């Protein structure tokens, strides 16, 4: 039986951390001409980066190039440490649709220098999310179409079927290192097409018939 968590709908206010996975779609790996990851490539974002529909994405004035990344988010339901892949799904309370906004102007040099990704990934409004989607509403998390438009033009069109590391792989892997806690969010990675957007743009994204979001973009 899947984990039930009464508070998971409040993952925005109750979550302790956001765990991101990078380069988790083969089309991204091929487009960027980087080696296929042998293990999930994991980073953290602060919960202060959360944004809900109705509030604008604010581009920090310190950045010159910020990209959209549409992703499946996984909301953890109960504390989880050293779990096997076979058991991992019993720690999932539900899902959300998320954007992992990324300042490529910061990430590019950081990646090249071997520096942390914290600022390019963790700025305020960098994690727009949908409402919580209870696990019961999702028959298969690995068969969810994901799409994103900018000003009506389709920019990303993928499917979670193409995830390199699946949801249980990620949970099991991360839980070897850090305890995943109730209401933590895992960003599973973005399909190909992530690119820059600017102030004045309107970003829309969707996941199957489960969530659809619209965000206005403003300059700081």
DSSP state of 114: T
CA–chain centroid gap for 94, Å, is 14
* Number of residues engaging ligand OAA in binding (CB under 6 A): 11
Q: Which of 49, 126, 149, 190 binds Mg ion (CB under 5 A)?
A: 190
Write the interaction track for ligand OAA spanning residues 3-22; mark x where CB under 6 A is met and - where it is not. -----------------x-x
Long-range contacts of 137-145 (CB under 8 A, 24+ apart): 137/94, 137/210, 138/94, 138/95, 138/210, 141/72, 141/74, 141/92, 141/95, 141/167, 142/166, 142/167, 144/72, 144/207, 144/208, 144/210, 145/206, 145/207, 145/208
From 3-11, 25-33, 65-73, 162-170, span contacting Mg ion (CB under 5 A): 65-73
Smallest gap, in angstroms, from Cβ of residue 70 to Mg ion?
9
Residue 184 interface partner, choices Mg ion, ligand OAA, none, CB cut-off 5-8 Å depending on type = none
- The distance of closest approach from Cβ of residue 150 to ligand OAA in the complex, given in angstroms and rounded to an integer, is 17
Regarding 184 and contact with ligand OAA (CB under 6 A), the answer is no
Q: Which of 8, 57, 67, 69 binds Mg ion (CB under 5 A)?
A: 69
Smallest gap, in angstroms, from Cβ of residue 63 to ligand OAA?
13
* Closest CB to ligand OAA among residues 37, 134: 37
C-alpha closest to that of 127 among 25, 215, 39, 26: 215
Q: Tell me the closest approach of the beta carbon of residue 90 to ligand OAA, in angstroms.
A: 25
How many residues does this entry show for the chain? 220
Q: Does 69 bind ligand OAA (CB under 6 A)?
A: yes
Structure token pair of residue 173? 């892997």
Report CA dihedral (172, 178, 184, 187) to the nearest 10 degrees: -60
Pick the piece of the chain touching ligand OAA (CB under 6 A) from 48-56, 99-107, 147-155, 196-204.
Answer: 99-107
**Closest residue by Cα to residue 187 from 214, 161, 163:** 163
Q: Which of the residues 91 through 130 are near Mg ion (CB under 5 A)?
A: 100
Binding of residue 102 to ligand OAA (CB under 6 A):
yes
Q: How far is CA 138 from the centre of its chain?
A: 17
Site for ligand OAA, rule CB under 6 A = 20, 22-24, 28, 69, 100, 102, 107, 189-190
């Amino acid at each position: 039986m899947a984990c039930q968590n009464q508070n998971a709908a409040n993952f925005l206010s109750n979550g302790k951390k956001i765990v991101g996975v990078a380069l988790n779609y083969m089309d991204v790996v091929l487009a960027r001409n980087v080696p296929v990851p042998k293990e999930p490539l994991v980073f953290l974002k602060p919960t202060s980066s959360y944004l809900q529909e109705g509030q604008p994405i604010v581009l920090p004035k310190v950045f010159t190039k910020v990209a959209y990344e549409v992703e499946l988010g996984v909301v953890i339901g109960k504390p989880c440490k050293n779990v096997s892949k076979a058991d991992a799904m019993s720690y999932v309370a539900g899902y959300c649709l998320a954007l992992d906004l990324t300042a490529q102007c910061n990430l590019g040099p950081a990646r090249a220098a071997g520096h942390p990704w914290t600022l390019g990934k963790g700025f305020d409004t960098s994690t727009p999310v949908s409402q919580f989607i209870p696990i019961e509403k999702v028959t298969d998390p690995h068969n969810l179409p994901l799409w994103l438009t900018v000003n009506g033009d389709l920019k990303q069109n993928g499917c979670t079927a193409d995830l390199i590391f699946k949801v249980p792989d990620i949970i099991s892997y991360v839980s070897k290192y850090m305890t995943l806690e109730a209401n933590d969010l895992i960003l599973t990675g973005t399909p190909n097409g992530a690119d820059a957007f600017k102030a004045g743009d309107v970003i829309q994204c969707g996941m199957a018939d489960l969530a659809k979001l619209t965000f206005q973009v403003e300059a700081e």
